[in-house]
Structure 1
Amino acid sequence: MNNSSTEQMGCVSAFEKVAGRNPGQTAIIDGDRTISYGDMQASIERRAGILLKAGLKPGYRVALIAESSADYLVTALAVWRSGGVLVTVYPSSGSGDLEYAIDTSDPALIVTSESVDRALVTPAARNAPIVDIADFRVTEVRHNASPNPEGLREPLAMICFSSGTTSRPKAIMLSATVIHNCADTYGEVWHLGPEDTAIICLPMAWLYGLASTSLAVLLRGGTVVVVRRARPEMIAPAIEKHRATFLAGVTATFGKLAQFAEQNNSGHPAFPSLRLCISGGEPRNEAAFSRWQAQTGLPVLDAYCASECLPLVTYDPISTPTPRQGSAGKLVPRSKLKVLDAEGHEVPAGQIGEAYSSGPGLMLGYWRDEEQTQAAITEDGWYRTKDLVRVDEDGFVYVVGRLSDVIIRGGTNISPAEVERVLQQHPSVAEAAVVGIADDIYGQRVVAAIVPQVGSTLDDDELKAFTAARLSSYKVPSQFIAVDALPVNLTTGKVSRRDVAALLSAEASQSSS
């Protein structure tokens, strides 16, 4: 294993300073549990001690496959305090994605919550001990895990997995500097402080839920309220009970809460304690956000970045309290953005090009994938986002499209190719093309165009069950539409996703009318 300096603990050291200044302040509310900063610091130290006693050495990887909780945050900080590398894995991952994440990261220890099926974890564990996050009975770790990559510019602190813009999620390597810069910058730009109480309904396995929000709040001395599901019937009471001031989510979060508020309209603005609402993970959905503002009187501000280089763009609620239509906001401090045309030249303000980003939030690379790393990061240290953006004269950034065909559903990236490969395994399917269709709640929904095998008919329920057994639930198409043939590009002969999307949008509209 290569060394990981305990002097570069980033968020651990920053949290310790906050806890030392105000140990009695409430750090986390998780159901019936209320944990002060002092108690949280003691828990972090206790768990770090357990890890070290069990044999965890600097650079050893610890996979955390668990639902969001107070224990999640304590465990993450404890892993870093002990010099370990945190590997975050979505607990809702399908068996294929779960096995891939564990096998790829090859951890020395796996920590799960009771909601995770151990039968899915054990086959890929390579005899790494598996412990429950609540009781944390760690007595040993595996010592023969593969070493971390050499030659990184900083020690490895975290591996997180993209939600899948390719056939398999990418394993993104981050340093302590990257994680701390993310939390610290958002705390600065959003003006978070001890008076803030934040509803965290995002999965902490996602950097948006862990660093961008939870750690951003904690490093500013605020209070994190854990809500395990982004359901309005769970979020709304939590906002009201704890007089929350900050809510972050994806488009669907605000769309569903707007519906909830409409159905429970008291004649007064909903959720009056909120001062800051942030949406991220997908382009702005002005229709959903308008419904939210009609019920609350509060706009939804935006954040835009990639896990490979973050943070990048958001709104300062003090200097710009009202978002510009369609804009994700402005560049944050210390980060860099340039917009290039296909020839690599910077485009003038107002023109569209591909976004390149850089700064202290730049990833170390992709885990054991030098080819992908070199394709994503230029020789002079810029990350290719593969997003098409424009920046206006005032510096506001607009995300107008993507170079890839990724579908973004509720802030989660989905690879059409992965879904298509599964569909093509079904005996009634001759060809399949999967695209994202506009959706008022989720931003996009997954829809499949199917050319049936000769003599076969499509059974929607059967196809849904077939894909659900092989994919994570958010990747399963919501609709299967039979077509005679898939539209193709006349020059290349490849399936034209743009034409498929237009065809399916028309079909979906007709079927719903």
Structure 2
Amino acid sequence: MNLFSALRQAFPADLDACAIEPADGGTDGRFYSWRDLDQASARIANLLDSLALPPASRIAVQVEKSVEALLLYLGVLRAGHVFLPLNTAYQAAEIEYFIGNAEPAVMVCSGKNFTWISRLAFKAGTTHVFTLNEDRTGTLLDRAAFHADEHQPAVKSGDDLAAILYTSGTTGRSKGAMLSHGNLLSNAEVLKDYWGWQTGDVLIHALPIFHVHGLFVASHGALLNGSKMLWFSRFDPRAVIARLPEATVFMGVPTLYVRLLGEAGFNREACRHMRLFISGSAPLLIETFNEFRERSGHTILERYGMSETVMLTSNPYRPEDGERRGGTVGFALPGVSLRVRDDQGHELPAGEVGGIEVRGPNVFSGYWRMPEKTREEFTPDGWFKTGDVGKVSADGYVTIVGRSKDLIITGGYNVYPAEVEGFLNELPGVAESAVIGAPHPDFGEGVLAVVVPRPGASVDPAGLIAALKGRIAGFKVPKQVFVVAELPRNTMGKVQKNLLRERHQGAFHA
């Protein structure tokens, strides 16, 4: 079934009820009804149909968060094409790669970026470039306004491609994880039951919508339950606290919870109507977990997922299913199989640490146009190797203890050191570099770089940071750069990043 059709079937009977209320202020009471969602997505789908695109064309999107951006996603699904969301922080070199690799038929960007993005898109053979701005303007909406507000959704099977999410590779080359209609729908249906979605739930949506957490887990959850969303274009802790009494569900990354706790107004009274707080996309510190429970009276439910798999595990919602255990990501979700194996492929008993492997209806089919990489990441018996290292307790709780690929998660965003190192090593005066993550009080992990200068050259840490800011997304740019004579290496010549992490673990703490 087309994922859009499943979401549309879940709309409430009263289509004129509020579906999404912009919560940033200054909206003069404007809201989006369920009828608005249906009709606006139909106009966008009809616009795409009018372009006579090849079947299952990629529609690449790099725009600021807005309700219209969500409507674009629904319109793409409805028309049977493939949605390709791109982080708004990506710069020209990154966008050029994504366009070249995915070969989208349509590119949608912010008006402020149209000049340089359209140049890259047209050069790569993309036929159509539209603009979409967060203030409800842009050529996409201008064109869609001329189309009918009824549309018969394209017929799709569960195996048909619905979205491609790019996740940076450890070699510096980004990989496009291919997610099907079945992958996304099966996961949304499991979470609807497992997290106890109920009539009357209201979701505070304060996450970006260019990755799994905000676009799929949060949006699908509310839409599949016919639940109203209080929509924040960006996270503001005081503004969120002011709306908590009207909501029942909140989803955030650990950074957002830290910022809520930093506000004096965050207390049990503000959370009196809340049903559930969910955290993911990065490890939640046990200190944050405990302080949040004390301040709010609620125990955060932490879960674990990936771009390639959507959600894999979750702490339980219902008390009868077990406690929400801090420091863990709970149990494998219904329908998901999870195992831990050593480097020789032997399955490990409870409590022993090894590589986490998974399979299930939510697991992606592979990486876009990378068959060899896809084969590498799946075992001969069909399990996906997550690259995460962890253990499972005797009573089934999963704990993530590390990442075999040195992934850094800062503020909920993934940073792969090899990618940043590649850009650093191209800068004048740099001989080599090592990028690592260090504990950060706000972002969970902060990116820092250790750089070795070329013989006779001197490098300025601030200058290196400034140079990177114009080339890669801001969250990937090291917050600190240290200059050293040489990097620590083992007998095989491999950089010992564990020693660098130990040396700089206090870099972001006063």
- Name the amino acid aligned to 1:314: S
- The alpha-carbon deviation at position 495 of structure 1 amounts to 0.9
Between 351-360 and 93-102, report the one with greater CA deviation.
Answer: 93-102
CA–CA distance in structure 2, aligned partners of residues 305 and 214 of structure 1: 16
Q: Are residues 348 and 202 of structure 1, via their aligned partners in 2, closer, same or farther at CA, if it must alter by over 3 Å?
A: same
- The alpha-carbon deviation at position 158 of structure 1 amounts to 1.4
Per-residue CA deviations over 1:434-465 (Å, capped at 9, x if unaligned) read 11001122111011112234454443321210
Report the 3-state secondary structure (helix = DSSP H, G, I; strand = E; otherwise coil) of the residue aligned with 1:345: coil
1:257 aligns with 2:260: yes
CA–CA distance in structure 2, aligned partners of residues 212 and 153 of structure 1: 18
- Name the amino acid aligned to 1:99: E
CA–CA distance in structure 1, aligned partners of residues 505 and 309 of structure 2: 33
CA–CA distance in structure 2, aligned partners of residues 112 and 277 of structure 1: 32
Trace 1:53-68 onto structure 2 (pairs within 5 A): 53-68=50-65
CA–CA distance in structure 2, aligned partners of residues 38 and 300 of structure 1: 34
- Name the amino acid aligned to 1:301: L
User: Aligned to 1:232, which of 220, 234, 237?
Assistant: 237
Alignment partner, residue 23 of structure 1 = 15
1:9 aligns with 2:6: no
CA–CA distance in structure 1, aligned partners of residues 113 and 227 of structure 2: 30
Q: Are residues 321 and 132 of structure 1, via their aligned partners in 2, closer, same or farther at CA, if it must alter by over 3 Å?
A: farther
Per-residue CA deviations over 1:341-363 (Å, capped at 9, x if unaligned) read 22212111111121111111111
Indicate conservation of the 8 Å contact 1:165/1:413, yes or no. Answer: no
Per-residue CA deviations over 1:217-250 (Å, capped at 9, x if unaligned) read 110111122212233244333435xx12111111
Gaps of 5+ in 1: 1-7, 140-151
Alignment partner, residue 361 of structure 1 = 362
Alignment partner, residue 129 of structure 1 = 128
CA–CA distance in structure 1, aligned partners of residues 461 and 344 of structure 2: 45
Moved over 6 A (4+): none
Report the 3-state secondary structure (helix = DSSP H, G, I; strand = E; otherwise coil) of the residue aligned with 1:19: coil
CA–CA distance in structure 1, aligned partners of residues 219 and 328 of structure 2: 24
CA–CA distance in structure 2, aligned partners of residues 72 and 253 of structure 1: 22
Gaps of 5+ in 2: 145-156
Alignment partner, residue 501 of structure 2 = 501
Q: Are residues 374 and 138 of structure 1, via their aligned partners in 2, closer, same or farther at CA, if it must alter by over 3 Å?
A: farther
CA–CA distance in structure 1, aligned partners of residues 99 and 41 of structure 2: 24
Report the 3-state secondary structure (helix = DSSP H, G, I; strand = E; otherwise coil) of the residue aligned with 1:136: helix
Report the 3-state secondary structure (helix = DSSP H, G, I; strand = E; otherwise coil) of the residue aligned with 2:250: strand
Q: Are residues 229 and 437 of structure 1, via their aligned partners in 2, closer, same or farther at CA, if it must alter by over 3 Å?
A: same
- The alpha-carbon deviation at position 304 of structure 1 amounts to 0.5
Per-residue CA deviations over 1:69-94 (Å, capped at 9, x if unaligned) read 22122221211111212112122212
CA–CA distance in structure 2, aligned partners of residues 127 and 386 of structure 1: 34
- The alpha-carbon deviation at position 306 of structure 1 amounts to 1.6
User: Aligned to 1:173, which of 157, 165, 178?
Assistant: 178
- The alpha-carbon deviation at position 497 of structure 1 amounts to 0.6
1:245 aligns with 2:238: no
- Name the amino acid aligned to 1:317: Y
Indicate conservation of the 8 Å contact 1:183/1:213, yes or no. Answer: no
Alignment partner, residue 337 of structure 1 = 338
Per-residue CA deviations over 1:382-422 (Å, capped at 9, x if unaligned) read 11001111111111110111111111111211111121222
CA–CA distance in structure 1, aligned partners of residues 168 and 113 of structure 2: 18
CA–CA distance in structure 2, aligned partners of residues 190 and 25 of structure 1: 24
CA–CA distance in structure 2, aligned partners of residues 363 and 190 of structure 1: 22
- Name the amino acid aligned to 2:250: L
Indicate conservation of the 8 Å contact 1:163/1:412, yes or no. Answer: no
CA–CA distance in structure 2, aligned partners of residues 227 and 116 of structure 1: 22
Report the 3-state secondary structure (helix = DSSP H, G, I; strand = E; otherwise coil) of the residue aligned with 1:389: strand
- Name the amino acid aligned to 1:74: L
1:292 aligns with 2:292: yes
Alignment partner, residue 192 of structure 1 = 197
Q: Are residues 22 and 181 of structure 1, via their aligned partners in 2, closer, same or farther at CA, if it must alter by over 3 Å?
A: farther
Alignment partner, residue 304 of structure 1 = 304
Per-residue CA deviations over 1:198-224 (Å, capped at 9, x if unaligned) read 122222110111111111111011112
User: Aligned to 2:45, which of 37, 43, 48?
Assistant: 48
Trace 1:85-164 onto structure 2 (pairs within 5 A): 85-114=82-111, 116-125=113-122, 126-133=125-132, 134=136, 135-138=140-143, 154-164=159-169
Indicate conservation of the 8 Å contact 2:199/2:225, yes or no. Answer: yes
TM-score (norm 2): 0.89
Aligned length: 484
Indicate conservation of the 8 Å contact 1:65/1:116, yes or no. Answer: no
Report the 3-state secondary structure (helix = DSSP H, G, I; strand = E; otherwise coil) of the residue aligned with 1:184: helix
TM-score (norm 1): 0.88
Between 117-126 and 359-368, report the one with greater CA deviation.
Answer: 117-126
Indicate conservation of the 8 Å contact 1:390/1:397, yes or no. Answer: yes
CA–CA distance in structure 2, aligned partners of residues 72 and 385 of structure 1: 30
Identity %: 31
Trace 1:67-82 onto structure 2 (pairs within 5 A): 67-82=64-79
Report the 3-state secondary structure (helix = DSSP H, G, I; strand = E; otherwise coil) of the residue aligned with 1:438: strand
Between 33-42 and 20-29, report the one with greater CA deviation.
Answer: 20-29
Per-residue CA deviations over 1:289-346 (Å, capped at 9, x if unaligned) read 3333333222221110222123210123223585213110111111111111222121
Alignment partner, residue 213 of structure 2 = 208
Alignment partner, residue 153 of structure 2 = none
Indicate conservation of the 8 Å contact 1:277/1:299, yes or no. Answer: yes
Alignment partner, residue 146 of structure 1 = none
Alignment partner, residue 275 of structure 1 = 275
Q: Are residues 247 and 163 of structure 1, via their aligned partners in 2, closer, same or farther at CA, if it must alter by over 3 Å?
A: farther
- Name the amino acid aligned to 2:254: T
CA–CA distance in structure 1, aligned partners of residues 270 and 457 of structure 2: 51
CA–CA distance in structure 2, aligned partners of residues 402 and 77 of structure 1: 34
Alignment partner, residue 472 of structure 1 = 473
CA–CA distance in structure 2, aligned partners of residues 282 and 232 of structure 1: 19
- The alpha-carbon deviation at position 121 of structure 1 amounts to 4.3
Indicate conservation of the 8 Å contact 1:255/1:291, yes or no. Answer: no
